Chain A
């Protein structure tokens, strides 16, 4: 141990659900670095709530694999950051403990669901943070808050100790103010873990390189079409122009499966959620059920009062999509659609090295602007394809629209996280 770090952040944005006032400082790559951790990642001895009343007071008896890696690298855990309850949302407004505000404009949301992590980094409270990305939950708040966020390739970072919402889609990943910081944190958290059966033995030992001469970039028409704000599209096109000036070439391409990718995503994630969240019944953790009632009534009481509306909506949608008579129409079709998305990417990546477009179709929403669930879901259209395919994707700030940050999204081939980091780094170095 190299001493103690004192941490007294001015959390005017409600980025943190809990903070450590001081922590041990270890030695290693992250010695002296305060890292904020999204509150759906288990931390031994530190309350972990998933921003839900159903886990209020829950103190994990073990660390998530990534938290153990952070500590081994000498990092100090700054605290646990706010999120949409269980990661279900695009705004961080669905938190049982109040919304996080966007440090760039407090009348707007920070994006979600890793909004607390993004706001903590954007406001300068911490240098880096961990988030999780199921359908854009790292890249969306990174774009909305004007920072860098990486969704790693599926399997590259262990999910052991991540409180599961949608296992087949989600990954833990880094957020930071610079591509180098994000790359350094990725180097700490990536690698094989026997406690995660989907873990791949693909460590990340990479220093970002800014040379992208000869790189071929696919530009999908769907990322600049209907539903994408024309001003946001123009900012991103200009950024792609900068990449061309650095020696990259662009190739128009198309992802026809985008037509149904969002529906496939929501059927899949709600189905997985309906199964994963069955464990929250107040018996092993959470608010105690009424022992005098039958289990069915007791569980309904606990879950009805301690889960927020969006969580209950997604559990019900998933239950419906998996139910007898509807499974073939919804879940089975969604899995075929998912395969089509993966095949579209495979086809495009035979001709290009990376794919670029906007991270989000608009700038950060005003608070309460997305009160209708479907309109909030639609905002995820540009981020969910990478999760369905499992490929790496990074969001890097590329300018502003109406004074708010816009994110440039770079997607790469499976396990080519290093390449998307390099492209983001080349852009960042060119404009700074």
Chain B
């Protein structure tokens, strides 16, 4: 069982912004879904799920890229060719 406090905590970790009036519904739905997920407890074994995987890498060389103005066109705030972000400190 997860509580409304747990859901609030997860929402903050994920930065999805949850409103107080939504907490009850989300918590109720969460518990129904997690209860269904409990069926995974019956899966036996552990270890690597995936096999035969390898990395696909290329040489670290500069390749043609998009013009700066096209890349910045969708950003709501730019300055001197940079994207502006909210303050971190």
Contact = CB atoms under 8 A, between A and B. Distances in A.
Interface in A303-333: 303-305, 307, 309, 312-313, 315-317, 319-321, 323, 329-330, 332-333
A304 B16 contact: yes
Given A263-B40, A295-B85, A300 B15 contact: yes
Contact of A291 (B10, B19, B39, B86): B86
A319 B86 contact: no
A105 interface: no
Nearest to B26: A313
Contacts of B39: 259-260, 263
Interface string A278-307: 100111111111110111101111111101
Main secondary structure of the interface of A (DSSP, over half): helix
Contact of B37 (A194, A267, A294): A267
Nearest to B22: A309
A59 to B, nearest CB: 7
B40 A260 contact: yes
Contacts, number: 154
Contacts of A329: 40-41
Main secondary structure of the interface of B (DSSP, over half): loop
Q: Which of B36, B71, B88 has the most CB of A within 10 A?
A: B36
Interface string B16-43: 1111001000100110111011011111
B52 to A, nearest CB: 11
Nearest to B49: A335
Interface string A184-208: 0000000000100110000000000
B14 A315 contact: yes
Contacts of B83: 283-284
Contacts of A274: 14
B15 A284 contact: no
Interface magnitude class on chain A: 35 or more
A288 B77 contact: yes
Contacts of A377: 33, 36
A1 interface: no
B50 interface: yes
A317 B46 CA distance: 22
B31 to A, nearest CB: 10
A59 B18 contact: no
Contacts of B15: 278, 281, 296, 299-300, 303
Contacts of A278: 15
Interface of A: 57-59, 61-62, 194, 197-198, 259-260, 263-264, 266-267, 274, 278, 281-291, 293-296, 298-305, 307, 309, 312-313, 315-317, 319-321, 323, 329-330, 332-340, 372-374, 377
* Cβ-closest 4 pairs across A and B: A304-B17, A335-B49, A288-B76, A300-B17
7 contacts: A264-B40, A288-B76, A295-B86, A296-B15, A320-B30, A336-B49, A372-B32
